[in-house]
Structure 1
Amino acid sequence: MKVTHLGHACLLVEYPDARILIDPGNFSDFSQVRDVDAILVTHQHPDHLDTHKLDDLLARNPKAVLRTDTGAAKMLQESGAEVTTNEAGQSFTIGSVTVTPIGQLHAEIHPYVPRIPNLGLLLAADGHSSLFHPGDALDGQPLDHVDVLAVPVSAPWGAVKETIAFVRRIGPQFVVPIHDATLSEPGRAMYLKHIGDFGLDGGVTVRDLRGEPATELNG
């Protein structure tokens, strides 16, 4: 399994027979992405789904299936897009990859912003590391072991104590920082150090893929 961080919450995850793009939002650069088999969206917020660039993305990837949470699907269907709705716990396959949507709601930002649907995504394939992208919620609990955990580093709804508790509960082999576009460089480094030092007893390996080419993440 190879992973490319395309900025903020957007990951391109590649297997020998499947290329999967997750959360192409407006803080990310996916302008060169082609030949993907699936475009998966955890929720409808624009930093995870850039509707202004979606038509171009689909045109460059005519074979890609678009699958989203219920909230994003409803929004896209109203605009005439062809989209399949993901449901929590109902797995589907992209090539040899089993994708399991996990969760229910976006984390609370504050009481004045209504919560919306959010479905994290667990990707698993025989012979490859599993990867969990939680979207914007830290309460999802995959039933299987997670090798690679995509970890939101900073958000209006987040706190580093909650992030660390999330990592410790899941217990991955690696963490990949995501959801970091609002941070300064010193601030981002501070968050990554906290996650690396305290994410597990004795620390957890942080694989910072920002600005890096496709990187193999197999244990």
Structure 2
Amino acid sequence: MQITRFGHATVLVETADARILIDPGAFSPDTPFELEGLDAIVVTHQHLDHIDQNRAPALVERNPGAVLLCDPETAGVLEFGDWRENGEGVETAVKGVTLRGVGVQHAVITPELPRVGNVGVTVSADGEPTLFHPGDTYAYAPEGVDVLAVPLSAPWAKVSETVDFVQRVSPTTVFPIHDLTIAELAYGIYWGHVANFGGVEDARKLGQSDSTTA
């Protein structure tokens, strides 16, 4: 399994015969929006840092054979592409890879704001590790996760919850996503707590790379 981070929540997973792009959002550079040969594009929820509705239509056009998968609420607001609804426990097969929906709702930002839908995804294939991208929540901790994409900072998160999430999922390896809300000077503080207290031995090494093989 080859994993490439493109900034913030956008992750490319290459495993078996499939290439799967998750959360092509507005905080990410142009590079992921220029990809071709994708077999699936997965969106965990409708917030702009997870789906850039200005650049994503061209990405979808560039990949006409890709399965488009998102939570039901997002499917209702996207005005481009033929999106399939993902949901808790829903499994979608893509070229020998199983994409499984995890969760229902986005984390609480503040009680005054309505919560949108959020369906994370596990990516698994025979003989390959299982990756979990949760979108924007720490509420769900599926079993059997080998590689965790952990949201490192958000208006809805605090460090103790991040560490608890990593401990509950208990992956073999972990790498950071949702991290463009952290100033470069302070980044080591956040990742240091995950590395020191998350219980994942090689967390710091993976956190320093934009591409890793799992």
CA displacement at 1:119 relative to structure 2: 0.5
Structure 1 stretches lacking a partner, 5+ long: none
User: How far apart, in 1, do the equivalents of 2:33 and 2:133 lie?
Assistant: 21
**Number of corresponding residues:** 210
Q: Which residue of 1 aligns with 2:201?
A: 204
CA displacement at 1:45 relative to structure 2: 0.3
Moved more, 38-47 or 59-68: 59-68
Mark the CA change 1:20 to 1:80 in structure 2 (over 3 Å): closer, same or farther. Answer: closer
User: How far apart, in 2, do the equivalents of 1:191 and 1:55 lie?
Assistant: 34
Instruction: Among all aligned residue pairs of Structure 1 and Structure 2, give the percentage whose two residues are the same amino acid.
Output: 44
Question: How big is each residue's C-alpha offset from its partner over 1:111-169, in whole Å with a ceiling of 9 and x where there is no partner?
Answer: 11110110110111111111000000101121x31110000000000000000000001
User: How far apart, in 1, do the equivalents of 2:33 and 2:134 lie?
Assistant: 23
Q: How does 1:25-174 map onto structure 2 within 5 Å? A: 25-29=25-29, 30-76=32-78, 79=79, 81-142=81-142, 144-174=143-173
Runs ≥4 in structure 1, deviation > 2 angstroms? none
Question: How big is each residue's C-alpha offset from its partner over 1:53-95, in whole Å with a ceiling of 9 and x where there is no partner?
Answer: 111101221211111001110111xx25311111211111111
CA displacement at 1:194 relative to structure 2: 0.4
**Matched AA of 2:132:** F
CA displacement at 1:16 relative to structure 2: 3.1
Q: Which residue of 1 aligns with 2:12?
A: 12
CA contact under 8 A between 2:25 and 2:49: conserved in structure 1? Answer: yes
Moved more, 164-173 or 185-194: 185-194
CA contact under 8 A between 1:133 and 1:150: conserved in structure 2? Answer: yes
User: How far apart, in 2, do the equivalents of 1:209 and 1:82 lie?
Assistant: 36
CA displacement at 1:209 relative to structure 2: 5.7
**Matched AA of 2:43:** V
User: How far apart, in 2, do the equivalents of 1:22 and 1:14 lie?
Assistant: 11
Instruction: Please state whether the residue corresponding to 2:54 is helix, strand or coil.
Output: helix
Instruction: Please state whether the residue corresponding to 1:31 is helix, strand or coil.
Output: helix
CA contact under 8 A between 2:106 and 2:115: conserved in structure 1? Answer: yes
- TM-score under structure 2 normalisation? 0.94
Mark the CA change 1:80 to 1:194 in structure 2 (over 3 Å): closer, same or farther. Answer: closer
Mark the CA change 1:16 to 1:2 in structure 2 (over 3 Å): closer, same or farther. Answer: same
Instruction: Please state whether the residue corresponding to 1:51 is helix, strand or coil.
Output: coil
Mark the CA change 1:177 to 1:145 in structure 2 (over 3 Å): closer, same or farther. Answer: same
User: How far apart, in 2, do the equivalents of 1:108 and 1:59 lie?
Assistant: 34
**What RMSD in Å do the two structures reach over aligned CA positions?**
1.3
- TM-score under structure 1 normalisation? 0.92
User: How far apart, in 2, do the equivalents of 1:168 and 1:27 lie?
Assistant: 28
Structure 2 stretches lacking a partner, 5+ long: none
Instruction: Please state whether the residue corresponding to 1:72 is helix, strand or coil.
Output: helix
**Matched AA of 1:41:** V
